[in-house]
Amino acid sequence: MKPEVLQLSPILIPEIRDKLDQLFTIRRYYEQADKASYLAQHGANIRGVITGGHTGITQTVMAQLPNLEVVAVNGVGTDAIDLAYARDRGIQVTATIGALTEDVADLAIGLLISACRGISTGDRYVRSGQWATSATPLVPLPLARQMSGMRIGIVGMGRVGRAVATRAAAFGCPISYTDLQAMSDVPYTFVADLLALASDSDALILAAAADKGEAIVNAEVLHALGRDGYLINIARGKLVDEPALVAALQNGQIAGAGLDVFADEPQVPGELFELEQVVLQPHRASATVQTRTRMGEMVVASLVDVFAGRKPGGSVTG
């Protein structure tokens, strides 16, 4: 009998879907209209769960899976899972650690360039036909902000933070960072205080885990970032006080933002739609074929390992 696995969020790579169906009986929870009866029907047989990083799994759902052995996160963030509860029940939680570092860092830099240089604005301008009909076609839009050489402040010097730093360094950007402590193995400037980091940075890039669920980027931090500063978030929306961010952008207290993540996804504050200096993405920093394939392979491997009684790679529960 194949182990039963409850899938909470879709997997888009056909080869991974096939592999999952080959090895396990996959219960596609996310497709069910009546989730409560589906759980009542299948909950007792479920030995594994597949879920996304920012969507996780609630304790209420876990409580209805009495034989659950493993939650395989198709992502790196485990902030949407009660790890203490999982540990208490002996449920292993695994994540695709290392698989998406490069893609997420790429998008952070992409968002920064796009926000500074107004790439989306330029694209909209050309598509709308405005350029062709402009009275001054040689000066189509206001001048942009140079990205090379910007002082970059990185919040969280983990895998993604480091990958962002490597890329930013190639653009000639001086790099500072904050984290719980200084890291002896990186050549960048450690700044313990987030406010001080924000005020010394032209762009603040959020690459931190959000396990504490705290909105560390508040009105004060945004004020410190200042009217020439940009905020880039490829981590978690809940790291930012979103109403304060909207106000800071509307009032010109910061220059712009590049956001892949939001506090209440897929809801995005409508005020942001009106702001040209903001670049928006629907949480897709890891969404490339290459990375999602690697992530899917890691998800499959951790399920296989746990069901075979082996310690899985990427375990976050120890």
CB nearer ligand 8YV, residue 75 or residue 256: 75
CB nearer ligand 8YV, residue 75 or residue 258: 75
CB nearer ligand 8YV, residue 167 or residue 292: 292
Q: Scan residues 65-124 and list those touching ligand 8YV (CB under 6 A).
A: 74-77, 100
Catalytic site residues?
236, 265, 283
Instruction: Specify burial of residue 310 (Cβ count, 10 A radius: 0-12, 13-18, 19+).
Output: exposed
54 binds ligand 8YV (CB under 6 A): yes
CB nearer ligand 8YV, residue 100 or residue 259: 100
47 binds ligand 8YV (CB under 6 A): no
304-307: list long-range contacts, CB under 8 Å, 24+ apart. Answer: 304/23, 306/48, 306/69, 306/70, 306/92, 306/94, 307/3, 307/47, 307/48, 307/69, 307/70
Answer for the pair 277, 256: CB distance below 8 angstroms, yes or no: yes
Sorted by sequence, the CB contacts under 8 Å of residue 259 that are 6+ apart come out as 111, 231, 232, 233, 237, 272, 278, 279, 280, 281
- Which residue(s) pair with 92 in the sheet? 70
CB of 76 to ligand 8YV, least distance (A): 4
Single out the residue of 43, 53, 153, 314 in contact with ligand 8YV (rule: CB under 6 A).
53
27 binds ligand 8YV (CB under 6 A): no
**Which span sits near ligand 8YV by CB under 6 A: 17-25, 50-58, 176-184, 213-221?**
50-58
CB nearer ligand 8YV, residue 53 or residue 156: 53
Single out the residue of 163, 283, 299, 300 in contact with ligand 8YV (rule: CB under 6 A).
283
CB of 10 to ligand 8YV, least distance (A): 9
CB of 293 to ligand 8YV, least distance (A): 13
**Cβ-count burial 193-230 (b if 16+ within 10 Å, e if not):** ebeebbbbbbbbbbbbebeeeebbbeeebbbbbeeebb
Residues binding ligand 8YV: number (CB under 6 A)? 11
161 binds ligand 8YV (CB under 6 A): no
Integer Cα distance of 49 and 21 in angstroms: 14
CB of 100 to ligand 8YV, least distance (A): 5
CB nearer ligand 8YV, residue 167 or residue 188: 167
Q: What is the maximum span of the chain, computed from C-alpha positions, in angstroms? A: 72
- CA–CA distances in Å: residue 19 to residues 203, 301, 303, 304: 42, 10, 12, 11
**Which span sits near ligand 8YV by CB under 6 A: 51-59, 60-68, 108-116, 165-173?**
51-59
CB of 192 to ligand 8YV, least distance (A): 26
Token digits for 309?
A: 């009684």
List residues near ligand 8YV by CB under 6 A: 9, 52-54, 74-77, 100, 283, 286
